[in-house]
Amino acid sequence: MINWVFVSVGFLGRQRFFVSAVTAGLLSAAPALALKTAEVGTGHELAQKWCVSCHLVDPGQSDAGATGVPPFASIAAMSSTTSASIHAFLMTPHGKMPDFELSRRQIDVISDYILSLKER
């Protein structure tokens, strides 16, 4: 159906339609990007509260309370690190890691923060 619309409006109409579609897509993505930034910030705050005693949470952080515990940046850099893998890890009890009983929302934002380190 879109191809039929392209044919009926001609080349200039096709350009206008494409520009309008791209503009609409960018404008609809803006609130999502702002929300994602807020999620990352909230995740960072939670990590500072609960994770910093054992993990290097910030790339510039120099001291962590536990040896042999991976920094968040290292976790983010692993090819196996995805939102799903972080969720699975944080929802499963681990011997050395305290059970914080995080809510799904808290896991979501901590995951968003860790994954944001992959992009830096």
In a domain, 24, yes or no: yes
Q: Which position has the higher pLDDT, 95 or 40? A: 40
Q: Which domain holds residue 111?
A: 9-118
Residue 102 lies in a domain: yes
**In what helix (H) or strand (E) does residue 39 lie, and over which residues does it extend?**
helix 2-50
Average pLDDT over residues 69-86: 94
SS3 at position 83: helix
H or E stretch at 55: none
Show the tokens assigned to 21.
Answer: 């579609």
Residue 20 tokens read as 């309008």
Q: How many domains does the chain have?
A: 1
Mean pLDDT of the chain: 75
Tens-place pLDDT, residues 24-73:
444 444 444 444 777 899 999 999 999 988 899 998 887 766 888 899 99
Reading the block at residue 81, the tokens are 């690190």
Distance CA 43, CA 26 (A): 25
Domain holding 90: CATH number?
A: 1.10.760
Question: Does a structural domain hold residue 54?
Answer: yes
Judge whether 4 lies within some domain.
no
Cα angle for residues 42, 47, 49 (degrees, 5° grid): 95
Length of the chain in terms of residues written? 120
Residue 64 falls inside a structural domain: yes
